[in-house]
Structure 1
């Protein structure tokens, strides 16, 4: 591995860590000596990378730092294109447009040879499921980001309707359906709601009383519990 590749890897590793990480941990991830790691940190800092910290305390890369024109392997390019093409075919129109725009921005900063590889990739995505939701999934995603309550009318598999007020914290994308994961005030438990059975979506300015990451962690824990002890948090 060349020194420039090693420096790029170090930046990418720092991007993955949101909190200060020790030099020994970084050196271990990169497979270099601690002395080499310290030299590489100093080199990046000298080139303007906003890396804060020092030996013994750990290092963190300040948010917002952008890499120069990007270099990708063939498989990384295929993963980017395939993922973007899949999202671009989802019913969430705003997210689909964002995927197309993101791919264009990436292409704009790639060297010419890699841009040609990106345009020529032959990994294709099949046609969408054709399922159309009556709600704007962009509203759901915004409520999740802002940690705000959502109200809506929900029809279960048997067609019975009920009004719900929920605390949304995750949105699952599957081939034929989109599923919102939320804490349901009526059920006082975690519930899964199919987007194609939701209507009358009403965004609120009411912040729910818990952090979404804490609820996500707790919900994941319920999935690991034995079936006989787990709460009934399947599709409502």
Structure 2
């Protein structure tokens, strides 16, 4: 966990996520960037209930229980410890990583540093298989590591989870050619649309209407939704 290369790759990923671009058509979020990141990493929706569920198994976080698990105050305290001890070169976890790389011993962690280390372990486990991404409109999300520039986020009517899709070009299915096929890469979390906000704004220019039909053209089995560029 405290391998310097891995540690700094995690910190670099988090620090590389930009805020909404100034020319974005999307209204700037009311939440600070760090809270969007924290909610995205824990799939926290609204009141951070996702964070409560995903972090409940980590005993070092019990010392913050008085703030109310799943509350913004609780997640704020976790992130403050994480930022102070992992982002700051003077932080205990940051210093521990440097000392370990030099073959030197470090002192036992303080309570806050233990909280930071615990959240770092959680984030590391998440970013082994997933990666953070930002859409062209400034939305921040979490998706399988195999996503790449040019992919799209699709929200299908009737589904409660967005999906990353990729243009597949022409494909052949049962002796029939299709010109605009899409490959489903996998599910994702996209902060700001997980409560169905997109369906109130789906006619906006940034969303392309999407309609899939079975190869035999059966309208009853068509799948509709919206998508936007990653």
TM-score, with length taken from structure 1: 0.23
**Structure with max Cα Rg:** 1
Q: Greater RCO between the two (CA within 8 Å, min separation 6)?
A: 2
